[in-house]
Amino acid sequence: MTVGQVFKGTLAVLLALATAYLIVLTLNVWITVLVAILVASAVRPYILRLMRLGVSQVASILIVYGGLAAGTVTLLILVMPPIINQFVSYLDNEDRLANRLISAQNWVDRTVDQFTEGDIQFGLPPEEIRTSVSNVIQEVRITAPTLVGSATSFIGDLILVIVMGLYWITTRERTEAFLVQLVPLGNRAQLRLIFEEIEIRLGSYVRSIVLVSVIVGFMCFAVLLVLRVPGAGTISFFYAIATAIPVIGGLIGVVIATLLALLTSPTAAVIVLVLTFLLQQFENYYLTPRLMAQGTDFDPLLVIIFVSMGLTLGGVTGALIAVPVAGIVSILTKHLILEPRKATVAPAKIEGGILLQVSDLAKQPEK
């Protein structure tokens, strides 16, 4: 190996490490870009449908994204005020929250005693609960400006996702044409196929996730509204958001919704627990298998691993995009590694009861 080859190899390694380090430092930006592309892939079929009806591209994009933005804003307007009001009331009167937690704990103790016929105590003594609540409230009061900053950052990220999605929709075909020109002629058809499969499968996955969350959230809200459970909108919203996380989201939603209802009353908690549990079964065994048939097809254990990794690296956003990222890697692996490998070992013919492979036939002398 010459000095020039050693220098080039070292330079390539350093460039790869520098690129990886830069990606880690700007991970939030790349997550935002990925979310924007996922949203654009999910809404692109509706834009194309409007264009086939004679609507211009610009008008189609404005209609679809305008409807998406209007729906999101409307949902936040309906859900956020009750959450903020309850949050502020707890800040103003910390005893109210402590009393509700103590009442909820006492109810759980009594219920367990009735079923077990024993004296079982859960949780903390009342004074410790009051002290813990007071400490938490004081901490929240100190960090309230940070919460406002986080809300502002979320709105900024939402606007950025919409803007990036608009640019992606308008430049998608040019981007695909540019990438296709970078590969040899013989591989261009395969690259177009990979590009199309990624967009179709992940767009379908995102639409299915949103549809499942909307259905279970609306059903939860409708039943709680009929039963006059306080905070029906807030409970249903958090349950629907949690359901968007694959596999484990339904269970998380049941726990969150039940705890929120328990702060109101034990009766409300029982109603919410039973309702969300039934909705989880409906979602697991009926909605998800039918609506997500074209999504990423992973074993549930792999999905849990991917979601856990995403949750650790990027919080809730990381958990939501973990499966789409794994789907992209799966599609690339299938087209670039597995299928070429299968083609080299595919059975060709049988001679004398021996199964020959392509690689074996290439070694056979011509007769």
- Least-confidence region, from 3-17, 63-77, 123-137, 265-279: 123-137
For the chain, the straight-line distance linking the first and the last C-alpha, in angstroms and rounded, comes to: 43
Q: Is pLDDT of 102 > 80?
A: no
Collapsing DSSP states into helix, strand and coil, what is residue 330? Answer: helix
pLDDT of residue 276: 92
pTM of structure: 0.71
The DSSP H or E segment spanning 351 is strand 347-351
Q: Say which residue the tokens 């306080």 belong to.
A: 230
Q: Say which residue the tokens 């640019």 belong to.
A: 167
Distance CA 179, CA 195 (A): 10
Backbone angles phi, psi at 352, to 5 degrees: 65, 30
249, 216 Cβ separation under 8 angstroms? no
Confidence of residue 165 (pLDDT cuts 50, 70, 90): confident
pLDDT of residue 265: 79
pLDDT of residue 127: 78
Instruction: Give residue 80's Cα distance to chain centre.
Output: 21
More confident call, 153 vs 323 = 323
- Of 188, 165, 193, the closest CA to residue 72 belongs to 165
Encoded tokens for 67: 């409807």
